[in-house]
Amino acid sequence: MTRRRSFASAQQVADRAGVSRSAVSRTFTPGASVSDETRRRVLAAAEALGYHVNHLARGLTRRSSNIVCIVASDLETPLRSRMVGALTDRLQHSGRVAMLIGTSGRGDADAQSALRQILNYRADATIVLSGTPSEDITRLCIAAGQRVVLINRDDRIEGPDNIAIDSALPGRLAVAAFRRAGCRRLCLVTSAQGTPALLARESSFLAAARAEGIEPAVWRGGRTVYATGRAAAHDLLLRPDRPDAAFCISDLVAFGFLDAARHDLGLRVPEGLCVIGFDNTEQAGWSAYDLTTFDQSVDATGDAVMAALDAPEGTAPLRLTIPAPLVWRRTVRGPVPAG
């Protein structure tokens, strides 16, 4: 039989140190007044007993738990895992506790059920990443009095901070890069997930191409994953009027597209086919891909989230658009554009 561990109490620490219970509390409260001798005795007693402050109970008393929920889907994808890691690191370094709620493969009802459990711990804030969670989750957090930070979402709700990666300029830059490379038959490779960020990328690219008198082929289907890119390549690149340039809605889709084009269909990149992705994941810089892509900066996004969380109560919600510069590699022919 496994014996359940018994945790030392603050009163036990006080008894061992020969001080009052309030002296123990002051010792572990930043900025509280306590003599050096009392602090030394309390810390020595706490070390001997294995005592740790119950921050959850303290948070319930003070109406602040330092818990921040992160709601995200597609956690297995490179960009999403990097984003969650960056946010978790920043939260921990600021003295907060991150609680992750994954919604991949689950209905919103399940996600809301998990969130309700977290709300029982009185989380201070919730970060909702782009993806499929419905805006009902955002409303639930706001109703609970939380600060809510949205990343790449367009929930039409008053109150949340909203941080987005620029999706308008990249579409225009992608078309310009393809045209500069001499490409005439453009295509857009996207998924059927239809998130706000993906739709914004699609619309800017299509609008820029049409302004150039080009009607791109559009391939849409599946999730925003590697297999979608492979399936698109096997369809689009076997057509009589096959595209000579592809704007893939994410790096992961671009990887599948490139692998199918090169290894299954024998096409040369960039000589016979130019490809641009979006995200600038670590894998985009690998020699196997060397993918020209737009940089969805995880660091800039993480810093903006922390600025929103650290803003004083009553501050107007943050509305910020972060640039996504083009990272020029070797999947588009021609010289590197100036600037």
| Host H or E run for residue 172 | helix 168-180
The sign of the CA dihedral 176, 177, 183, 185 is negative
- Other CB atoms within a 10 A radius of the CB of residue 78 amount to 16
- Other CB atoms within a 10 A radius of the CB of residue 310 amount to 9
pLDDT tens-digit readout, 84-106: 999 999 999 998 989 888 776 55
DSSP code of 102? E
Same domain, 35 and 70: no
Distances (CA, A) of 9 to 17, 64, 244, 300: 13, 21, 70, 42
134 within a domain of the structure (yes/no): yes
Number of compact structural domains in the chain: 3
Same domain, 46 and 126: no
Please compute, for residue 129, the number of CA atoms within 13 A of its CA located in the half-sphere on the CB side. Answer: 24
Alpha-carbon gap, residue 81 to 79, rounded angstroms: 6
Distances (CA, A) of 30 to 26, 27, 33, 305: 8, 8, 9, 25
Same domain, 38 and 66: no
308 within a domain of the structure (yes/no): no
Tell me the average pLDDT of the chain.
Answer: 86
Give the CATH number, domain containing residue 22.
Answer: 1.10.260.40
Task: For residue 136, count CB atoms less than 10 angstroms from its CB and return exposed for 0-12, middle for 13-18, buried for 19 or more.
Answer: middle
254 within a domain of the structure (yes/no): yes
pLDDT tens-digit readout, 123-140: 888 898 876 566 777 787
pLDDT over 90 for what percent of the chain? 55
pTM value? 0.79
Same domain, 151 and 85: yes
Q: Pick from 34, 45, 55, 61: which is nearest to 11 by CA? A: 45
pLDDT tens-digit readout, 15-52: 998 999 888 888 877 677 889 999 999 889 888 887 76
329 within a domain of the structure (yes/no): no
Residue 68 in this model has a pLDDT that exceeds 80: yes
Same domain, 128 and 207: no
120 within a domain of the structure (yes/no): yes
319 within a domain of the structure (yes/no): no
| Host H or E run for residue 293 | strand 292-295
Same domain, 221 and 271: yes
Q: What pLDDT score was predicted for residue 222? A: 92
Same domain, 30 and 148: no
Same domain, 140 and 173: no
* Structure tokens that stand for 149 in this block: 């930070």
309 within a domain of the structure (yes/no): no
Q: What pLDDT score was predicted for residue 2? A: 41
Q: What pLDDT score was predicted for residue 179? A: 96
Distances (CA, A) of 140 to 44, 108, 135, 158: 44, 12, 9, 13
Give the CATH number, domain containing residue 94.
Answer: 3.40.50.2300
Same domain, 206 and 135: no
Same domain, 183 and 283: yes
Query: Mapping DSSP to helix (H, G, I), strand (E, B) and coil, where does residue 101 land?
Result: strand
Same domain, 42 and 93: no
338 within a domain of the structure (yes/no): no
- Of 19-33, 54-68, 78-92, 197-211, the one with minimum mean pLDDT is 54-68
> Helices (H), strands (E): how many in the chain?
12, 12
Domain of residue 87, residue span: 62-159
Same domain, 128 and 72: yes
The DSSP string of 211-268 is HTT---EEEE-S-SSHHHHHHHHHHHTTSTT--SEEEESSHHHHHHHHHIIIIIT---
Peptide bond into 243 cis (omega under 30): no
Q: What pLDDT score was predicted for residue 268? A: 97
